[in-house]
Amino acid sequence: MRFKRRARFPGDAGAPSSARRFVRAALTEAGLDELAGDAVLLVSELCENAVLHAGTGFAVDVAADGVELTLSVTDQGSTPMELRRSVPPAPGTRRASHGRGLVLVDGIAAAWGSRHDSDGHHVWFTLRATAPAPVTPAPVASPEWVWPDPDTARWLLHLPAPPSPLPVLVTELLRRLCDVLDASGGAVVLADDTGEDLLATYGEKAGDDVVTVPLPLEPPRSGRLAVYTGVADAAELAALTAQRVTLAVEADKQHSADREQWLWMSYLAEATEMFGNSLDVRLTAAIVPQVLVPRLGRWCALHLLDDRGRLRLEALTHVREDELNELRLELAPLTEADGALTTLLAERTQAAGLGSPLDAVAVPLRVGGRAIGTVSVGRPVDRVHRPEELLILTELARRAAQSLDNAQRDSAHAATSQALQQALLPRALPTAEGVRFAAAYLPVSAGADVGGDFYDVLALSPGRWLTVVGDVCGKGPRAAARTGLVRDVLRVLLRDGQPLDRTFELLNEMMLEAGDPSQFATVALALITRQDTTPVSLAVELVLAGHEQPALVHGDGTVSYLGTHGSAVGLVRRFAVHPTRHVLMAGDTLVFYTDGVTEHRRGVDLFGPDRLADALRRASPRTADGVITAVRQAVDDFSPEPHRDDIAIVAVQVPSQA
């Protein structure tokens, strides 16, 4: 008569314990207590797998027929368990770490298998009871050892969840194995192409008896577990422990690989951030070798192509500063190294080795297929670069090339902008009897954007001068083009003899024709005429087209603001300006400026016209250059904050002693 029992269990941590009690009770009822130990151990492993891998509830079926017992565990998981891959994975790849519980099933059961159907995933095994064997008296000297009960076997292989360093974990496994086998000690050894390494040891060797089992590691790594015991059947339990040790070793290897990859990625991210921190070519070039040494080699040299297409050593560093001069000579033009680097760029290869005495690897710096230089890195001491180091070096070279190219482009753009800015300013100020001119232009930065502030001082005829200070809205090429338009139109119209109000009306019409009201301008213009008086005086015809009033510093130190405000040019069609006339006497200084002076900030406070007047009073009496210096100093002393706008200042002075 066939005996059958079935029970279902939830997918929680207590289910395996309940399943063990169910199986033990069922076997007692079936009269197969002799199979209870093995059956409970194997069912426990299958139930653990169902809870851990499937994460679902499971059912346990018990079927007995005489001396044969078949147990089945069914879960609803979709992923089959495996004993071991039939084909070892490639070195360096992840290896499956699940399915180790089936090693017990494979080693103990008379038969086992698994299948998937509509009911779920079934794993079954069969145990057979045997007739009692003839009793043979055991030798008195042989120790008696029996397979441990399931709870002891679980204690042997299951360690607490918190991770521990590999040697600590393996030592604990070895200690537990020695406790179960009553062994005096043991050792675990790992080996690879470089030799052997003692991973863990416990106790000591008390005699000549030793049981040794291999660790099933992936080539080229290997290992062995040795336990000092004379128990004949200890190899089976040692093999199970070796499987558990192998899992720990493989997990540690993967963890180390993941950590190393994370460190490389962090290094790449930090290096990229440092490369992009500056748009200065020299600073960026100096950073590159500092980032690569000593992480990737003993020294690093950065070469960039010059305007003639020749490599120029731009930056060099070495872990030993006393070897820098010798290294610099080895990398000088027309040397063997210079020829190798030139060939590297010409042949468009990915990398090239530099032989003795340099012992280095060189990588080209390319952006969009265009070469801009090379980076060479000396090999680490006593070894060549590892493959992963070469990959990182190549990637760093790509990122450095991008940053260097950006810096070079920005430098070229800045040089062009500065040249354009200088072209919009007068080359030199006029010099004449009875009048002194001084000027200063302070761009908010020396970068790539052309500022909108400008000034001009032009001799129209003997004894007659044009002085202009203006501010075009915006920055960059459009502002530069509008600045050039304003400057040239004013020059042409006034040289042609147009009245001031008509000159500004024509300028306003021309700017409106451009159809861009955002590019308006404010202008302060003065026609200065020397008068034949004793002492010399200057007649000033002043127009303010939306601009700040110029400050007049009298010879006695008092300050007043001149002119009447009119419309900004290029903003509205209903345009009006109001020319005013003034006279500068001996010792007087007329100071024109842009709003970068009065709108310089200290928090929410502005420098303003009152502080400007105070600075001018303190500056009197000074030369025209001295007055401008005093204004600049007062603005800088007012606030440490960086300037937000360009500054243009022009001073026209009648000397006290004409």
Q: What are the pLDDT digits (tens) for 467-485?
A: 999 999 888 777 888 888 8
List, in order, residues 6 or more apart from 27 with CB less than 8 Å away.
Answer: 33, 35, 36, 39, 62, 64, 69
Which residue range is the domain that position 166 belongs to? 150-260
Q: Is 34 helix (H, G, I), strand (E, B) or coil?
A: helix
pLDDT for 335: 75
Given a contact cutoff of 8 angstroms between Cβ atoms, the answer to whether 600 and 606 are in contact is: yes
Identify the pLDDT of residue 180.
87
Hey, what are 596's tokens?
């970068």
What is the structure's pLDDT at 77?
67
Are residues 381 and 464 located together in one domain of the fold? no
Judgement on whether residues 119 and 178 belong to the same structural domain of the protein? no
CB 588 within 8 A of CB 554: yes
Residues 487 and 456 sit within 8 Å (Cβ to Cβ): yes
Residue with tokens 């918190």: 162
Q: How far apart are CA 444 and CA 595, in angstroms?
A: 12
The answer to the question of residue 269 being in a domain is no
Provide φ and ψ at 571, rounded to 5°.
-110, -50
507 and 649, same domain (yes or no): yes
Radius of gyration of the chain (CA): 45
- The CATH number of whichever domain residue 307 belongs to comes to 3.30.450.40
Report whether 568 contacts 522 (CB < 8 A).
Answer: yes
Q: Are residues 217 and 348 both part of a single domain? A: no
Q: Is 140 within the bounds of a domain?
A: no
Question: Which pair of tokens denotes residue 323?
Answer: 């070897």
Query: Do 305 and 438 reside in the same domain of the chain?
Result: no
Specify whether 603 is located in the same domain as 639.
Answer: yes
Which strands make up the sheet holding 3-9, listed edge to edge?
A: 3-9, 58-65, 68-75, 120-128, 111-117
* Token pair recorded at residue 372: 């801009």
| Listed residue (656, 635, 630) closest to 646, CA to CA | 635
510, part of any domain: yes
Q: Is residue 374 part of a domain?
A: yes
Strands 464-472 and 559-561: unpaired
Question: Are 484 and 539 members of one domain?
Answer: yes
- Using a cut of 0.85, tell me whether the model's pTM lies above it: no
Domain-embedded: residue 139:
no
Assess if residue 86 is contained within a domain.
yes
Among 456, 457, 453, smallest CA distance to 472 is for: 453
| Single-letter residue type at 651 | A
Cβ(226)–Cβ(186) below 8 Å: yes
pLDDT of the residue at 626: 94
* Whole-number pLDDT of residue 13: 78
Residues of the chain scoring pLDDT < 70: 1, 77-101, 130-148, 160-163, 334, 445-449, 657-658
Q: What is the number of other CB atoms lying within 10 angstroms of the CB of residue 307?
A: 6
**Any idea what DSSP says for residue 52?**
I
Helices 387-423 and 281-292, packing angle to 10 deg: 170
Single out the residue in 419, 436, 468 at which a domain terminates: 419
* 597 in the same domain as 453: yes
Q: Are residues 542 and 641 in the same domain?
A: yes
**Looking at the 3D structure of the chain, how many domains does it have?**
4
Last residue of a domain, one of 389, 419, 449: 419
* Alpha carbon distance 481, 423 (integer Å): 11
Residue 451 shares a structural domain with residue 379: no
Whether residues 59 and 22 share a domain: the answer is yes
- In a domain? residue 658: no
Choose the final residue of a domain: 419, 440, 465.
419
- pLDDT (tens digit, 9 = 90+) per residue, 102-160? 777 887 888 888 888 877 888 989 988 865 555 555 454 444 556 667 777 777 777 76
Is residue 112 domain-resident?
A: yes
Instruction: Please give the pLDDT value at position 584.
Output: 95
> Residue 147 has what pLDDT?
65
- 543 in Cβ contact with 467 (< 8 Å): no
Residue 56 shares a structural domain with residue 39: yes
Q: Give the distance from CA 595 to its chain's centroid.
A: 40
> The CATH number of the domain where 626 resides is what?
3.60.40.10
Q: Which amino acid is at 141?
A: A
